[in-house]
Amino acid sequence: MIQCKDVSVTYPGSHTKALQTVNLTFQKGEFVCVLGKSGAGKSTFIRCLNGLQSPTEGDVIYHEQSLKKLSEAELRKIRQHTGMIFQQFNLIPRLSVMHNVLTGLFGSRSSFKNLAGLFTKEEKAAADAAIKSVGLSGFENRRVEQLSGGQKQRVGIARALVQQPTVLLGDEPVASLDPGTANQIFTLLRNMHDDLGLLTIINVHDLQLAKKYADRVIALKDGQVIFNGLPEMFGDREYDLTYGDK
């Protein structure tokens, strides 16, 4: 479904590669967690998968399409069905839960309708169903700035869900949450993944979350893949390689 072929990224003004010759393949139905220290290249990697970051070298193949060969309009069509969940939520604090979830539909609508805030009954019903599915019934009209961190992340998941994604990406979506809430969010993500048959790829710091929920674990260090395998195969040696200074 998604294939990284010799993907490297060097940012302008930098002599260090954020990613170095990454070769990975992902299939529908996989729940993958990407581990690594801050600066290991995890965010750059996730951004490459939906075309938000173009590789300096190599290519990302999405359903047999080369992302680097697509126009911005064609990339937007792919992103319509690629849900993205962020560490800092990326919500609009003064707007309601319902309005924030509806923004997940912006990529498939005209700019005029988006600016005017015009939504069909079907779109509102889809957003309402997404809100209910993440356990926020009764919060539809609550302003996002009044929610807890865990509730805000549930809004972010509902926003991704309303896109009817085939791929779900997460960039440290639980990094700012307490352990109990992080587990709740990962349970929600895993259930959503299983129910919809998604390809899910999530950056995470917490090894225990990865081992509990993932089908496969990938570890990055200095932009390179240093582990790619089953969670139970990621032991003390792999941990030291991933998070140690050497």
| % residues pLDDT > 70 (the chain) | 94
89 compared with 199, residue with greater pLDDT: 199
Average pLDDT of the chain is 91
Q: Structure pTM?
A: 0.91
Distance of CA 94 to the CA centre of its chain: 24
Alpha-carbon dihedral angle through residues 7, 50, 84, 110, given to the nearest 10 degrees: 160
pLDDT of residue 234: 96
**Do 85 and 168 touch, CB atoms closer than 8 A?**
yes
Structure tokens at 231: 């969670």
pLDDT of residue 73: 84
58, with CB counted inside 10 A (0-12, 13-18, 19+), is middle
C-alpha angle 43-50-94 in degrees, rounded to nearest 5: 75
Mean per-residue pLDDT, 9-16:
89
Please report which confidence band the pLDDT of residue 220 belongs to, taking 50, 70 and 90 as the band edges.
Answer: very high
| Mean pLDDT for the stretch of residues 52-56 | 93
Beta-bridge partner residues of 202: 33, 170
The 10s digit of each residue's pLDDT in 63-120 is 889 998 988 888 888 888 899 998 888 899 999 999 999 988 766 655 646 565 677 8
3-state SS, the chain, equals CEEEEEEEEECCCCCCEEEEEEEEEECCCCEEEEECCCCCCHHHHHHHHCCCCCCCEEEEEECCEEHHHCCHHHHHHHHHCEEEEECCCCCCCCCEHHHHHHHHHHHHCCHHHHHHCCCCHHHHHHHHHHHHHCCCCCCCCCEHHHCCHHHHHHHHHHHHHCCCCCEEEEECCCCCCCHHHHHHHHHHHHHHHHHHCCEEEEECCCHHHHHHHCCEEEEEECCEEEEEECHHHCCHHHHHHHHCCC
Q: Count CB atoms within 10 A of the CB of residue 164.
A: 15
The pLDDT of residue 180:
94
Which domains does the chain show, CATH number per domain?
1-81+200-246 (3.40.50.300), 82-164 (3.40.50.300)
Least Cα distance to 63 among 32, 31, 26, 108 occurs for 26
Residue with tokens 């951004």: 47
CA dihedral in degrees (220, 179, 150, 215; nearest 10)? 50
